[in-house]
Structure formats: structure tokens, C-alpha cells
Structure 1
Amino acid sequence: MRDHVKKLLGVSLQHYKLSLSKIETTVELQHGTAKRMVFTTQDNTAIPAVMLEPAGASSQTPSPAILYCHAHGARYDIGINELCDSRPALVGPYAEDLLALGFVVLCLEMPCFGSRSSPEESAASKTALWYGKTLFGQMLAELSAGLDYLCDLPQVDSARIGTLGISMGGTHAWWLAALDTRIKTAAHLCCFADLATLVKLGNHDNHGHYMTVPGLLATCSSGQLAGLIAPRAQFCGVGLKDWSSPPDAFKVAQDELIAAYGDKTDLLTFHIEPEVGHEETPAMRAAVLTFLKRRLIARPI
């Protein structure tokens, strides 16, 4: 299934290689530093990024890392700024929380966001589809290149890298973990539901054009695809009043995901809030940080 889904994306996850072009700014934060950087790919695409490094990070004591995936929310102006400045769907920025736990963090600006806002998402998605590719595939391939970069950093423990995101970022987080086994854990918020059920409910059209993957539902469901993360640890946070995870669609995906973990369901964490919409809550944030600390900070005995 994994190989078939990769083909549907139309873009190899190994397509891009990142070269650090420049470091634009370095800002001191309470628990480390935030660097605004620009990477260049082999086809001369410039990809802005933010990288966080905790105080004391070194090659002598490599740190765990997070590939942080920014959200959508039709706020094309936010992009990577989400990591340090937050966005309406979050209770606050993740930067200091992740630095306080000792994570190196990398966030790449996705196509159509921030300084990459041209072409717009609809045009970029249609162009990709006309060439037999997908915008989603391009996004995942760029994130995979970001994972390559993290794995090569001497101050990062490549055996302890996780993904994290909300909404589009959450979708990127669990999809990439399903397709790339180098990722140790995936934590995703406000983005998990059975797509076929969403279609029946009419909720699917709220998703952006970026998420269109031709032939996906003829190949697998969300629960089956996320199940490829097993037996690696996975966190799923949802609100049942969220248009993207209504109860019927979430339940189908949840049941399939639980089945995929078999007797390893202790590695699967759900945080479900029945009265919450498409947003993070303080309780959800606390649960995410507890999960990351347990799965990536604490070393197994």
C-alpha cells in the first residue's frame, strides 16, 4: 500500500535536496534560538524555513527533533510564522514549549504560503494535476527533504525525530510518517477522518485543493494509511464539532487505526473533545507535549 500511495502522489519523496542558502536572522528566545533560513533545491526553488535550537544543543549530546508542519486555514500569509507567532486555531505558539523540552525544530514554508504565495493554491494544484503530479506530493517531498536535513545535523539524534502539526500541518505530519519510516512518532491535530464518509456528509469540499490525490480512495482509507505508522507511536487530537472530523467520519478512521495497531494500542494516543471545533485547546496542547516527552525525550530502558 505504501508504494502504491507514493505513486499516486506523482512526486518521489526523494525528489528534493536542500542546500542551506543563507541564515537571515537569529533571535534569542527563553529556551534557545530561532533562526530564519532559506534553503535552495537543486532546481533553484527557494524554501524559507525556521529552525529552533535549544540551549546547549551539541553533537556530544544529540537532541531529539521535530519536523513541524504548518497549517493552512486559508491564511496564506502565516506559513512558517506559525511556529513562533501562533495562529487563530492554536492556543499559542509551539516554539518555546518545544525548546523547553529540548527539541531541535525545523519548519519549512510550503508552496503557496508566505513568500511562496505565487502561484495561488488552485492554480498550483491544477498545474500539478495536468502534469500527472500533485501539489500534496510536492509538499510531502519537500518535507521529506527537511527530514533529510534534520537527520544529517550532528546535534540531532536521527533515531528520535517526530512530526507535529494542526489541520493541514497535521495531515502532513501523519501522511509523512505513514510513508517514511524514519519518523519515530507523529502527533496530529484536527485533521483525521475517513474521507469517504466526509464525501457522503458533504464536508470534503472544505479541504483545500492541495489535498487532492487522484485514486486515493480506490486504494486505501485514512485509517488504513495512518495504520502504516504502526507500531511507531502516534497521537491524534480531534474535536467532534470540527467540520474535518465529524463523529461518523472520525469513528470509521479511529476503528481502522486501532485495528492496525493490534496488540500495540499502547503506542496509540487519542485526545478527543466532544464539544470542540477546528481548534486546539489547552488540554490538547498539554496532551501533545506529554506525548512528545514520553515518546521522544524519555529514553527506553
Structure 2
Amino acid sequence: MRGVLARPQTGGPWPGLLYIHAHGARYDIGADELLGGRRALLGPLGPVFARLGFATLMIEMPAFGTRADPNECARAKALLWRGRSLAGQMLGEQHSAFAWLAARQDIVAGRIGVFGISMGATLGYWLTAVEPRIACVAHLCCYADLAGLIEAGAHDLHGIYLTIPGLLRIAANGEIAGRIAPRPQLIGIGDRDPLTPPAAVDVALDQTRRAYAGADEMLTVVREPMGGHAETLAMREATLAFFGRHLVPA
């Protein structure tokens, strides 16, 4: 498995970030997103995080980059027939990446956050919901109630990797994100993003906000009325301030 670790030029130990790459039907990018960026971003974030004092790890997920063969569809079908999912495999690999990062001597294990946009966003808050050692999470452009997406017919915009049979009988997306409470969470969404239609976002936000009752200051929502499926300047500024506030010692 290929991974990229971007570190500050100053001496460690440093706070860490597990940055989960996006999909965007760009199977060629994979872990190159850390240093090379992608269209949905204002620019590459790896160098920015390093200048701010964060060591950032990104691993290449199955069906992307050097792991592009077998492709996403073939991998997902093989797992679904066995009662598993590609999203589950991705989460397992990201969990191992987090453990690897936390075990490094040059990383402050108690100050590791997670970041992602699009596919990386969903996997980011799902992972944070089940791994209590993650200090905080910021995610952009992939937060909505999945049942609402199905009702609107927008669910087919997601790749087959995300299909987890029976998930909606167990928990809604807003409830999963709510399991992160009271740890800090930043949600970035655009109302013109086809993956985050306002009606489906409102349902999810209501569920997540209920979980943060009594810890409202730990939940940050950046909602752009004219935003699409891409990072905005407001999201970038809020994300950098968020990690500085919650991962850098005062």
C-alpha cells in the first residue's frame, strides 16, 4: 500500500492529521491529492498543513492510484457477494493508518485530527465516530441524510463503494456524525452541491445537533448557499482555524 507523509521542516513531535483522499471518478489521483490537490480543492493542502506545523498522512485506497486494478465496481461486487463492503475495507485501512500515525515517536498521539472532502469526508466522520482516540474531524461536501438522498434520487451520484447493505436500519448519517460528540467537528456543505441537497442536510443536521446538546461550541457548520461540490474560501479558512484551535497547544 502506498502512503505519503508530509511533515513540517521544524523539529517534532508534531500534531498529526489523517487526510483521507476523495473519489471524483479520478482513479488516477489517489494519494497524490495530498501534495498535488484536485479540482474540488482550492489548492493542495499537504504543504499548507506542513507550514502550520501538522504532520499529515494520506494512504492510497483500493481502486485508486497504484491500486486501480481491480477497479471499484469489481472490488465492491466481490465484497458485497461475501456480505461485506468496499467502504468497510476502506475504513479498516484508514483505521490502521491512524494507528500507524499515532504510534510514531514524532507525532503527538493525543493531538491527531481527521480531514477529508467528498468520499474522504464520509469516511472521515464515520471513522471518527468509531475511533475515540481521534481528537477532532473536519469534513467537506459529503454530509446528508442517506434516506433523504434516496428519496430525492440523488443516491446514485455516489459510487458503489459506499453501498453498505442494512446500514439505514442501524443508523442515519446524522446519527453517525453525532456519535463524535462532544469532540470537535466541522461540517462544510454547499446548498448547490448535488450530494448535499438542503432537505437531506437539514435532517442530518438536526440529528447531529441533538447529539451536541450541551456542547454546541464543539460543532462548527460552514454552510454556503451558493456553494457546490467543492471547497470554498470560507471552508478553507474555517478548516485551518479549526485544526489550529483544537490540535495546537495554547
Tell me whether the two structures share a fold, i.e. TM-score over 0.5.
yes
Unaligned runs of 5+ in 2: none
Q: Find the residue that maps to 1:231 and give its secondary structure.
A: coil
Cα offset for 1:51?
0.3
Partner residue in 2 for 1:101:
52
Matches within 5 A, 1:212-251: 212-251=163-202
Cα offset for 1:56?
2.2
Partner residue in 1 for 2:22:
71
CA distance in 2, matches of 1:85, 1:72: 14
Task: Let me know the Cα RMSD of the aligned residues.
Answer: 0.8
Unaligned runs of 5+ in 1: 1-46
Matches within 5 A, 1:161-200: 161-200=112-151
Select 1:127's aligned residue among 68, 78, 82. 78
User: Is residue 112 of structure 2 the alignment partner of residue 158 of structure 1?
Assistant: no
For 2:209, the aligned partner's letter is I
For 2:2, the aligned partner's letter is P
Cα offset for 1:133?
1.4
CA distance in 1, matches of 2:195, 2:130: 22
Q: Percent of counterpart pairs with the same letter?
A: 47
Cα offset for 1:100?
1.2
CA distance in 1, matches of 2:156, 2:38: 22
Cα offset for 1:276?
1.0
Q: Find the residue that maps to 1:277 and give its secondary structure.
A: coil
Cα offset for 1:298?
3.4
Partner residue in 2 for 1:49:
3
Cα offset for 1:80?
0.6
Select 2:234's aligned residue among 262, 283, 290. 283
Q: How many residues align?
A: 250
CA distance in 1, matches of 2:6, 2:23: 21
Q: Which runs of 4+ in 1 moved over 4 A?
A: none
Q: Find the residue that maps to 1:230 and give its secondary structure.
A: coil
For 2:226, the aligned partner's letter is E
TM-score (normalised: structure 2): 0.98
Q: Find the residue that maps to 2:108 and give its secondary structure.
A: strand
Q: Find the residue that maps to 1:161 and give its secondary structure.
A: strand
Matches within 5 A, 1:13-28: none
CA distance in 1, matches of 2:46, 2:202: 32
Cα offset for 1:131?
1.4
Q: Find the residue that maps to 2:164 and give its secondary structure.
A: coil
CA distance in 2, matches of 1:292, 1:247: 26
Cα offset for 1:282?
1.5
Partner residue in 2 for 1:35:
none
Select 2:157's aligned residue among 183, 197, 206. 206
CA distance in 2, matches of 1:168, 1:265: 26
For 2:83, the aligned partner's letter is G
Matches within 5 A, 1:112-151: 112-151=63-102
TM-score (normalised: structure 1): 0.82
CA distance in 2, matches of 1:294, 1:286: 12
Q: Find the residue that maps to 1:217 and give its secondary structure.
A: helix
CA distance in 2, matches of 1:291, 1:151: 20
Q: 1:116-173: per-residue Cα shift (whole Å, max 9, x none)?
A: 0011111100001111211111101100110111111001011000000100011111
Contact residue 6 and residue 47 of structure 2 kept, 8 A = no
CA distance in 2, matches of 1:193, 1:160: 27
Partner residue in 2 for 1:32:
none
CA distance in 2, matches of 1:188, 1:298: 22
CA distance in 2, matches of 1:179, 1:126: 25
CA distance in 2, matches of 1:66, 1:204: 29
Partner residue in 2 for 1:91:
42
For 1:52, the aligned partner's letter is A
CA distance in 2, matches of 1:188, 1:150: 19
CA distance in 1, matches of 2:158, 2:74: 15
CA distance in 2, matches of 1:96, 1:169: 18
Q: Find the residue that maps to 1:67 and give its secondary structure.
A: strand
Larger Rg: 1
